[in-house]
Amino acid sequence: MPQSRRSSLSSQPDLTSSILVRTSERYQAAERVRRDRGAAWMARQPVDSPAHGAVRLLIGTWDALARSYVVEGSAHDQFFAINPFDLAWAALGPAIDILRKTDGAMFAGEFEKLSKRSKVWLGTPAGRRYRSKGNGGQGGGLFL
């Protein structure tokens, strides 16, 4: 295989790894708390509480996914199709605003950057296929 082809393949993340992380028992438990109580409520809990740790798990997962993003082309479409960064940012943004007061303005910075790119992608022909009319065009009632 030519070197240039090998390089491009190795630079593409495993697109299923984000699904595996987000379907783990701990992540799903944290997501249930977020749906029940809200991300801002979780962020306001004592730092040693399970709820506070859970919202940091959710945010940290999305920030790590954003840091792994290095793809273009069709893999770019696949990445955004299975990782709803815009929805995750809308759900977790209130908690990030709270946590940035203690953790600094750059907390979850990569997550924020990629959520903006995701919104741009949703305006493309490929991205428009993943918008749901039932939720103001921001996707269905899926778990983050």
Mean pLDDT of the chain: 81
Tokens of 106: 């750059």
Helix, strand, coil % in the chain, rounded to nearest 5: 70, 0, 30
Confidence of residue 77 (pLDDT cuts 50, 70, 90): confident
Domain borders along the chain are: 15-131
pLDDT at 82 > cutoff 50: yes
Is the overall model pTM greater than 0.85, yes or no? no
pLDDT of 53-66, one tens digit each? 999 999 999 999 88
Is pLDDT at 141 greater than 50 in this prediction?
A: no
Instruction: Report the distance separating Cα 134 and Cα 60, nearest Å.
Output: 28
Is there a contact between 126 and 77 (Cβ–Cβ < 8 Å)? Answer: yes
The mean pLDDT value for 109-125 works out to 92
